[in-house]
Structure 1
Amino acid sequence: MKQALRLPFVAGLVTLALTVAGCSSANGGADPSDVAPTGKVEPREIQWLLSRPADGAVIKTMTKIADEYAKDHPGFKLKLITTPDRPSYIQKYETLAAADKLPELFDTDATPFAQKLAEQGRMMDAAKLLKSLGVHDTYRKAALDYQRFDDGSLYMIPFEYQLEFFWYNKELFKKAGIEVPKSLDDFPAMCTALRKVGVTPIALDGQDQWPLERYAAYQPFRTEGPSYVQKLKKNEAKFSDPAGQKAAKWLSELGRTGCFAKGFSSVGYADAQNQFTSGKTAVYNIGTWELRSLATAELNAAVRNDIDFFTLPSSKGSATAANEFVAPSGIGMAVNARTYDPLVRDFLKFALTKYPAAYAATGELSPTTNAKTAVPENATPLYSRAVAAADEVGTELAMPWDTQLDPTTNTRLQRELVLLVQGDVTPSEFTSTMDAALGQNAPKYFK
């Protein structure tokens, strides 16, 4: 699962276009709060602009449901406009938004860009819609909260639910004479011990950049909770603040103790996973979207019985609890207010009522609590343990920073993180550079 990355130049142009367009773009459409329009359901083709794997469970499930709906509504068709590559998708989405040509349904994270659309009356109020359809209370609180804007409003509907764990090789830990780290501060010592016995400590997809950015978010989340990044992105907090300094020093220490493989920045997603599943690395931080690869017979038999997982360590004095960590519900689906009508509502009611059970039947965690995940027959005990953990998640969420920061600052952060971990810049140089970037970009983006 790659998190949202946005092209800075395009995003800037589109934001300007949205500012010029103002609220007029919603003229002729529905009131975002009028979730139960009257009138006849007249079947037609509706479109969903989305960025999800074409062979993934979300698309397969929704396609099957749409085909079922079409049988009783001749003339209906759900056309999927897919762009799996996230940067290209964001460019297309924001360009269509500027031209007021978004389709009936479209994917978006809870970004400042999406919030501008909501403020302009261009997205249906998802909270009111879900309540009107009678399904709101079936959703996991964490799944809905992940989709909310900072003001608590909800304009996106989740279609998945994931938990992010640290998967580890028990045999390699035993070889190094170490136990699961009790706090994030134990990671450097863990890495040193593993290096001493010839083991690369942590597998990391450095090529896609968001995995390293996760590590940057961990210390501040434990130190101050989600409020730090909420303030940081608006330049109301600094990278040089205590929480940011602690993160920078910790990341520098991870690099100094050799936590990641040499040349980690060029390692891709599949290669990072292969390093772990082949027993070459001891730890791999990834979400439950990889359950089939890590907790079934698909996993390499040579390491299958050695794999376990632990959650983001939380030590005494942490601002957040042990059961609070990264638990994303993926990119959400927004409903275009301009094209919302009785057909769109009727289809969404049909689809969202059937979706949870159908999705959970594929072995995935449903964003709702009323669907039981079907654990595959070839699953290891870890599969059921991971599924059970979904019901124990706390109330505070560690939000991925790449969906929070303005795109220009985020791009600079990803580049500077590599330099920091490689030892090419010091923690103080890192925080100074990032504070300058934040001060220059955030005020313009969040105005």
Structure 2
Amino acid sequence: MTEEVRDSFPQKYLESICEENGHIYSVPFQMDIMMFWVNQELLKQAGLDEIKNTGDFDILQKSLKNPDQYAYGDAWENTHVYNSLSQFVNFWGGDYFDWTDPKTKDAARYMKSMLDEKNTSPAQFVDQYEQMEEKFIRGKYGCVFMYTSALGTFLDADVYGKNKIHMAPLPVLHKKKATNIATWQYVLNNASENKDAAVRFLQYAAGYEGSTEYAKIMKSYPARVDVIENEDIDLEGIDMIRKYLREYTLNARPLCENSMGAVSDMGKLFQGYVLGQCEEDSFFEQAQNCINTYY
């Protein structure tokens, strides 16, 4: 990558995920941001235009008429909950890698309180994103955190729109407006027998033209920020994507070499904590041990 091309991607993400010792090892091509999605019909029922803070969760929950409906929905299956756990740590201004940090602890405490106060469902302990999305589509949840890649699912289900399910600004749950970001990426396989051609493709994919064509043909958000900001790119929901890129802190998901082991072990610890199967101090200690083991 030239410096000009490199500068067109989210810098913090590029440095933490794609780069090591000054070398770029992958080319991002699709932007995937953890967005805040709301069911506007349920918000209207509660007399809310949007969810701005934690108090609005309570207002929304009290307005729901079905006992199987919840203000907030999530995927707390042990291999998925790390997404939300790191997301709430973002909001509290904590550090997912430091479980001695009071702000990190407060984020986990708040998630537990959402379950204790019945603002979210115990059934989601076995839910991955497919189940969460399906329940959200059926009107069981007032809001969820989900990546932009869910847009196609909601469009296909004919539930997407400003008066239905849509992306919304981040609420102020504590101190920071921060969210997770991911990208799908191309890499050059070391076993490739056509490395020169592969390099030419990677250069095209990383370039402005390639990224623009990807957005238009695939109707998907590209990884290059300058292409997203191009007013000629007219994709569903792109104005909200631009808002997130301009106004919020974007953090890379906490991944490591053995990511599945790390997220699964942390997920099991978190489940035990929110279910009251281990003491709070024990959870924080074990969470830090998990981080030290994998990272």
TM range (shorter): 0.7 to 0.9
Match of 2:150 among 279, 290, 294: 290
Distance 1:191 1:437, change over 3 A: farther
Asked if residue 363 in structure 1 is aligned to residue 219 in structure 2, the reply is yes
Structure 2 CA distance, aligned partners of 1:275 and 1:293? 12
Asked if residue 392 in structure 1 is aligned to residue 249 in structure 2, the reply is no
Match of 2:79 among 209, 216, 226: 209
2:168 alignment partner in structure 1: 310
Distance 1:205 1:432, change over 3 A: same
Asked if residue 131 in structure 1 is aligned to residue 131 in structure 2, the reply is no
- Consecutive unaligned residues of structure 2, counting only runs of 5 or more, are none
Say if 2:61 and 2:70, in contact at 8 Å, map to a contact too: no
Higher strand share: 2
Structure 2 CA distance, aligned partners of 1:255 and 1:208? 16
The number of aligned residues is: 288
Distance 1:188 1:413, change over 3 A: farther
Asked if residue 243 in structure 1 is aligned to residue 99 in structure 2, the reply is no
What displacement does 1:146 show?
5.6
User: Which of the two has higher C-alpha Rg?
Assistant: 1
What displacement does 1:245 show?
1.7
2:72 partner amino acid? I
What displacement does 1:272 show?
1.6
User: TM-score normalised to the size of structure 2?
Assistant: 0.77
Distance 1:297 1:413, change over 3 A: closer
The alignment yields a C-alpha RMSD, in angstroms, of 3.6
What displacement does 1:150 show?
7.6
1:432 alignment partner in structure 2: 285
- Give the match's secondary structure for 2:181: coil
Structure 2 CA distance, aligned partners of 1:429 and 1:156? 39
- Give the match's secondary structure for 1:250: helix
Structure 2 CA distance, aligned partners of 1:390 and 1:191? 24
Say if 2:186 and 2:202, in contact at 8 Å, map to a contact too: no
Structure 1 CA distance, aligned partners of 2:114 and 2:275? 9
- Give the match's secondary structure for 2:187: strand
Distance 1:268 1:157, change over 3 A: same
Say if 1:251 and 1:420, in contact at 8 Å, map to a contact too: no
2:93 alignment partner in structure 1: 224
- Give the match's secondary structure for 1:305: coil
More RCO (CA 8 Å, sep 6+): 2
2:33 alignment partner in structure 1: 163
What displacement does 1:274 show?
1.8
Distance 1:338 1:215, change over 3 A: closer
- Consecutive unaligned residues of structure 1, counting only runs of 5 or more, are 1-129
Distance 1:180 1:417, change over 3 A: farther
Say if 2:92 and 2:107, in contact at 8 Å, map to a contact too: no
What displacement does 1:391 show?
4.7
What displacement does 1:224 show?
3.3
User: TM-score normalised to the size of structure 1?
Assistant: 0.54
1:421 alignment partner in structure 2: 274
2:167 partner amino acid? F
- Give the match's secondary structure for 2:42: helix
Say if 1:165 and 1:310, in contact at 8 Å, map to a contact too: yes
Distance 1:252 1:355, change over 3 A: same
- Give the match's secondary structure for 2:186: strand
2:212 partner amino acid? A
1:343-394 CA-partner distances (Å, limit 9, x unpaired): 4433433444453122111211111223657546xx5xxx243343355254
